[in-house]
Structure 1
Amino acid sequence: MNRLSSLACVSVLALVAACGSGSAEAPPPAPPPVAAQPAATADAGASDTADDADIAAYGKKYVDLVVELWPEAATSLGLHARDAELNDRSREGIDRAVAKQRAMLDELMQRFSSKPHASRSAFTDLVILEHALTVDIKRTEALRPHETRPDFYTEPLNAIFYVMARDFAPGPERARSALERIEKLPQQVQSAKANLKNPSRIATQIGIESAEGAKTFLDEQAALILKELPGEKARINTAVRAAKDAYAGYVTWLKKDLLPRSNGQFASGKALFEFLTHEDYFLNENSDEIHAMGKRLFDETQQKLTETARRIDPQAKKWSDVVARVKGHHPTMADLLPSYRREVARARKFLVDKDVVPFPAGDELEVVETPTFKRNTTQAAYDIPPPFDPPGAKGFFYVTPAEASWPKKRQEEWLRENDHGDQVDTAVHEAYPGHHLQLSFARLHPSIIRKVTGPSIFSEGWGLYSEELMAELGYYTDEERLMQLVWTLVRAARVIIDVGLHTRGMTYEEAVKILTDEVHLERPLAQNEVKRYTESPTQPLSYLIGRERIFAMRERMRARDGARFSLKAFHSEVLTRGTVAPGLLEREIFGD
C-alpha cells in the first residue's frame, strides 16, 4: 500500500541483514488501547440474529478455500498450513479455482435467497463475502491475468519472501518451506510460457523488469535459508540455480518472443470498470461522474498549491518552481532510511500528544529496504501484519534506496523524490495515522471475513484522509504542506488517468505527460506510476474517492452527534470495524 506499488503488499524483512536492524526509533508511550468491539456498537438494539452463526461458518469456509486455492495468499494472511506450496497458475488450475469460487457463491446465494435474520455486523459480513466472490470471479474471467500479465509469474517470489520475513515459526521450519517453494519456481515459468497470449507491450515490459530482479532476490534468500539449514547447502544451491536459470530464460523469452508480439490492450473497458466501482467499492457514480470529481479536486488542489507556494516565496511565478527548490532539501543516500525512521517516530508522538486517534495494543513498526524484485514499482510502502498472525505481529514500512550502481543523475533524481517534505507526507500516509494504524486495528476485528478482505477505497482512502487530517491539526510546515498537496494532486490525477486509461482511450504516454507536465513528477517516477495504473483498474482512484467518502461520513456523524462529536470518537468508530468500503461501512454505522 503505497505511492507506487499495488494494493497487494509484500513483507519486507529479507533485506534486514543488508540494512541493519531496521528498527524505527523508540516510539513514545501510547495511550490506553481501544478495544475492538465493533459488533456490540453496530448491533445496539438488534435482536434477530439467528443467521449470524451460519454467516460466520461461510466465512470459515471461504478461508479454507483461500488456503486450498491460493497458498501464497494464505501465507500473507498468517495461515501457514501450505507454506511450502505455490498457487497453481496452469490454465487448468485457474479454471479449477474459478469453478470452486462460483460453486461457493451459488451455495451462498441459495442459502440466503431471502433476507437473512442477522445482526447488522453479520449482515455486512455476508454482503462483503458475496461481493468478494463475485468481483474475484469477474476479475479473473475479464482481465485474465494468467494470459495478459507476465509479472503474474514473478508473484511467487512474494510468497518465498513472506515465509522468511516473519518469525511465526522456528527459522529452520520456515526455511524448509521457502526452499520447497524455490524448487517449484521453474514450473511457474513453464506455466507462463504456456499461458501468456497477447499482453500489452507495457505489461510485458513490466514482466521483464520484475523477472530481472529475481536473480538478486534469490541469492539473498539463499543466504538466509543456508543460515537456517547449513546441512542443506547442496540442495539449496541446486534449487536456487535452477530457479535463476528459469527466470533468466524467462527474461530472454519475454524479450525475444513475447515482446515483439505484445499488441494487446491494457484498458479494462467501461463496463468492467464500472462493475468494479459498483460491486467492489459500493459507489453509485458512473465513470464520467468519478472523472468529473477527480477534475474538480485536481483544480482545487492546484489552487491550494499556488497559495501555499506564495507563502513560502511571494515572488515565485509557479508553485512548481517552489517545489523544485524544496526538493533540494533531501537526505544523503546513507541517511535515507534513518531519516524515514525519524519521521515515523515524530508523527506518532504528535498524535499521542494531540489524542485524536486511538492506538491498538501491541503497536510495532519497522522501517526496512524494499526487496529488489519490487523496486521497479515501489518508492515507499507499508506491509500489513498478517491478520491471522498473533496480535503483536509488527508491520513493515519499506523504502527503496538509491542504488550505488546508478548514474549520479539518476541517484539525485531518486533522492529528490525522497525530499524532506515527501518523507513527512509518506510517513503520515504509510504509518501514523495512515496504513499502519488503520490496518493494525483492522486485523484485530473478530470477523474472519473482514480479515481476508479489504477494498482499497477504505484503506487508501484512510491513508489520504490521514494526510489531510494532519494538515487540519497543524502538523506541517509550509514546505511540508506543499509536498503533501503535491501528492494530493497526484491522487487527483490518478482519478483522471485511471478513468482515462480504462474507459476513455488515454494512452500510456498521455498519462505520463499529465504527471510530468501538470503534476511535475520526475519522468522515471511518472513512468512507474502509470505502469501500475495500466494493470490495476479502479485502484488508483481509490485514494481520493475514498478520502472524500470518509470526510462525508465524518460530517454525517458530526451532524448526528452535535456537541457530543469528537474526532477521536469518529476515528474509533471507523477504525475498529475493519477495512470495509465506506459506502457499506456507513450503512453499518448509521443503520441505513
Structure 2
Amino acid sequence: MTEHTPDFVADFMAWYLDANPMHAAMLGRTEQEHTFGDLSESGWLDRERQSAGWLDRLASVRPADQDAAIDRDLIVSHLRGQRARAQWPTWRRDPAVYAGSPIQSLFGTFLHRQQPEPELVASALSRLAELPGVFAACRANLDPELSCELLVRRALSSLRTARQFLTVTLPGEVADESLRAKLAEAGESAAEEAESLATYLESFAERATGDWRMGEQLYSTLLTECEMLGYGAGELHERGLAAYEELAAEARALAGDDWQQAIRALQEDHPATLAELLAECTSETERARQFLLERDLVSFADGELCRVVPAPVFLRPLFAVPFYMAPRQLTASRTGHYFVPFTPEDADQEQLTHRLRGNFRAQVTSAAVHEAYPGHHWHLSWLAGNPRAVRKALTTSYFTEGWALYAEKMMREQGYFTDPGRELAHLDMRIFRAARIVVDTALHCGDMTVAQAEQYMGSRSSLNEGMAKAEVNRYCAWPTQAPSYLTGALEIDRIRADYLEAGLGDLKSFHDRIAGSGALPLGLARRAALGTAAA
C-alpha cells in the first residue's frame, strides 16, 4: 500500500521521541525528562528492529509535495545511518554512551528550566534512581573484543568529573533547602555508583582488544547514505588535501611563508584573566549581531537571545574551546548558551595561561561568529521557528558545523574581520579544519597511524603537541565528525552560488531559506534551497 499523506512523519516522530527519551528531553519534551530509556541489550536490539521496520514502511511512501519528500528522505537518511552503524555498534564499544550522555542530560534540565523547581527535582531524582541500572547495562553490554582502550580511557575522563557534578553542581541549582538536600543525597549515591563503574572500566580497559578504526567501507556508506554527499572516503580525503593547499596559499599571501609563526605571535595577545575572556567574548558576540543587523544579512527569530556564560564546572576539563547549547527546539524558547571555556577550578597558573593563550584575541572574533552570530545560535534559534518537527529532531553536523564555518567566511567577505590578524586567525581555523579531513579519513581507512596523525596536525596547523594529541584522540573516537566543518562549508558555498546564479533571491533570502529549512544532509539542503532548480 502506498501512503500519500504526511501522517507518516507524525507517526515516525511519535515513535522516535518515545524510543529516544534523552534526545526528546533535549528537544523540550518534558514528559520524557524523567527517564534515560531502556539501555539494556534487548532495548538496543528492539530499537534496531523497529528502525528497520520504519525503513520498510517508508519505501512505499509517495509524498504529495517537495517538503514532504524532503521530510521522508531525511528520515530515510537517518535510518540508513542507524542501519549502517548497527554493524559497528557504539553501545557495545563505547562506555561514554552510559557514562557521559545520561549525566549531561541532567545538566540540560536545569539549564533550560522548563518546569517549576519541584518538577525539575522530581525528574532528576527519577533519573538518578535509574543510574545504577544504566551502569549495570554498561558492564553487561560492553564487548572487550569490540571496545578498545582508547574509548574506555575517554569515558573514564568523564566519569572522574561525575562526583563534583552529582553532589555539588546539580544540588546547587536548587533553591529550596529540602529539595536540595534530597537531590544531594541521591547525587551522593549516584556518585558512588559512578566510582564503582570507573573501577570496573579501569580493569576492562586492559581487556579491550578491539579497533577504533571504522574502515573505509562503513565510512563511505555513512557519507553517501546518511550525509548524502555523493562521494566516499577516498574522494573526501583528496578534497581535504586540495582545500589545505588552497588555504595555506591564502595564509602565505597574507602573512608570509611562515604564517604559523605569525599565528604563534598572535597567541601572545590574549586576555589576562578569565573575567577578561568572558567580557571580550560577550563584546564580540554583540558586535557580530550588530554587524548582521546593519548589513541586513539575515532575519532574526522573535525573542532570540544568546547568553554568553562561563562553561559549567563539570565540563571544564573536557572543553578547552568555546561551545554552544541550542534552545530546546520543540519549545517556544529562542535562548541559547555560548559557553566560554573557563579552566577547571583546580587549575594552576600554567594551565590558566595555556587556556587563555589558546583563546587569543584575534581568534575570539572568529569564535563569536562561529558559535553565535550568524553561526550556531542564529541558525538554531531561526530553525526553531520551522513548523516541521522532524527537521529539528534529525540534524547532522555536516550542516550545523558546515553552516558555522560558512558563516565565518561569509562575514570575512562582508568585511567583518577588520585587520590582518583577525583574517589570519580565521584562515588558521579553516586550515585546521582541512587538516582534520585529511587525518580523519586516513586514520579510519588505515592509511595513517596515531603518531603520524599527531605529527601531521602539529606540523600543518598551529596546534601545539598537547592539542594535536587531544585532537587525534577525538578523531579516533568520533569518526566522520571532524571533516563535517569544512566539508559542509564548501558544499553550502556551492549551493549559494547556484541559488544566486538561478536568480532565486539575494544573500539574505538564501541565508534565511537554507538555514531555516533545517540542518539537513547536504544533498537535501540543496533541494530545500533551490527547489525545482536543484534538478
- Under TM normalisation by the shorter chain, which class is it? over 0.9
- Does residue 541 (structure 1) correspond to residue 488 (structure 2)? The answer is no
Instruction: Give the alignment of 1:398-547 within 5 angstroms.
Output: 398-476=339-417, 477-547=419-489
The answer to whether 1:212 aligns with 2:179 is: no
Asked if structure 1 preserves the Cα contact closer than 8 Å seen for 2:169 and 2:313, the reply is no
What's 2:49 paired with?
99
For residue 164 of structure 1, what is the amino acid of its counterpart? F
Quote the offset at 1:178 in angstroms. Answer: 1.1
**CA distance in structure 1 between the partners assigned to 2:57 and 2:227 by the alignment:** 23
CA distance, structure 2, for counterparts of residue 161 and residue 411 of structure 1: 25
Q: Secondary structure at the match of 1:395?
A: strand
2:64 counterpart of 1:118: yes
CA contact (8 A) 1:105 1:130 kept: yes
> What is the CA RMSD across the aligned residues, in angstroms?
1.9
Deviation at 1:565, TM superposition (A): 5.0
Q: Shift in Å at residue 384 of structure 1?
A: 1.4
Amino acid aligned to 1:543: Y
Per-residue CA deviations over 1:485-522 (Å, capped at 9, x if unaligned) read: 11101110111111111113422232222222221212
Identity %: 27
> Which segments of 5 or more consecutive residues in structure 1 lack a partner in the other structure?
1-49, 311-316
Partner of residue 141, structure 2: 195
Specify the alignment match of 1:173 in structure 2. 119
Structure 1 pair 505–242 and aligned structure 2 pair: CA distance change class (3 A):
farther
- The answer to whether the 8 Å contact 2:267/2:358 transfers is yes
SS class of match (1:182): helix
TM-score by length of 2: 0.94
Code of the aligned partner of 1:102: A
Amino acid at match of 1:153: Y
Identify which range, 402-411 or 88-97, moves more after superposition: 402-411
Deviation per residue, 1:275-334 (Å, 9 max, x gap): 110111111122111111100110111111122224xxxxxx611111111001111223
Distance of 1:545 and 1:338 partners within structure 2: 32
Q: CA deviation at 1:472?
A: 0.5
| 1:376–1:528 CA contact under 8 A, matched in 2 | no
**Residues 1:260 and 2:210 aligned together:** no
Question: What does residue 582 of structure 1 align with?
Answer: 522
CA contact (8 A) 2:301 2:334 kept: no
Letter in 2 for 1:433: P
- Report the counterpart of residue 386 of structure 1 in structure 2: 328
2:169 and 2:350 map into 1 onto residues whose CA distance is 31
SS at match of 1:366: strand
Distance 2:151 2:512 in 1: 41
**Which residue number corresponds to residue 569 of structure 1?**
509
Q: Is the 8 A contact 1:441 1:575 kept in 2?
A: yes
Given candidates 278, 301, 308, the residue that maps to 2:224 is: 278
Mark the CA change 1:126 to 1:565 in structure 2 (over 3 Å): closer, same or farther.
closer
User: Distance between the aligned counterparts of 2:298 and 2:468, measured in 1?
Assistant: 33
Indicate the SS of the match to 1:334: helix
Asked if residue 163 in structure 1 is aligned to residue 113 in structure 2, the reply is: no
Residues 549 and 583, structure 1, Cα contact 8 Å, conserved in 2: no
CA distance in 1, matches of 2:412, 2:518: 25
Given residue 239 of structure 1, which amino acid in structure 2 is its aligned partner? A
The answer to whether the 8 Å contact 1:486/1:519 transfers is yes
User: Which whole-Å CA distance do the structure 2 matches of 1:464 and 1:75 have between them?
Assistant: 28
Name the CA distance, whole Å, in 2 between partners of 1:101 and 1:51: 18
TM-score, structure 1 normalization: 0.85
After the TM superposition, which parts of structure 1 deviate over 6 Å for at least 4 consecutive aligned residues? none
Alignment partners' CA distance in 1, 2:149 and 2:210:
7
Decide whether aligned partners of structure 1 residues 117 and 200 sit closer, same or farther in structure 2, where only a CA change above 3 A counts. Answer: closer
Task: Name structure 2 gaps, 5 residues minimum.
Answer: none
Asked whether the equivalents of residues 28 and 329 of structure 2 are also in contact (C-alpha less than 8 Å), the reply is yes
Give 1:478 shift: 0.8
Aligned to 2:98: 153
Q: How far does residue 373 in structure 1 lie from its aligned partner after superposition? A: 4.0
8 A contact 1:211–1:373 mirrored in 2: no
Q: What residue in structure 2 maps to residue 554 of structure 1?
A: 496
By relative contact order (CA 8 Å, sep 6+), the higher-ranking structure is 1
Give per-residue Cα distances to partners, 1:112-158, cap 9 Å, x unaligned.
Answer: 2xxx251111111111112212212322x123112211111121011
1:303 to 243, 249, 270: 249
In structure 1, what is the Cα distance between the partners aligned to 2:179 and 2:350?
A: 43
Distance in structure 2 (CA, Å) of the matches to 1:277 and 1:551: 19
Q: Equivalents in 2 of 1:206, 1:362: separation in Å?
A: 38
Structure 2 partner of 1:14: none
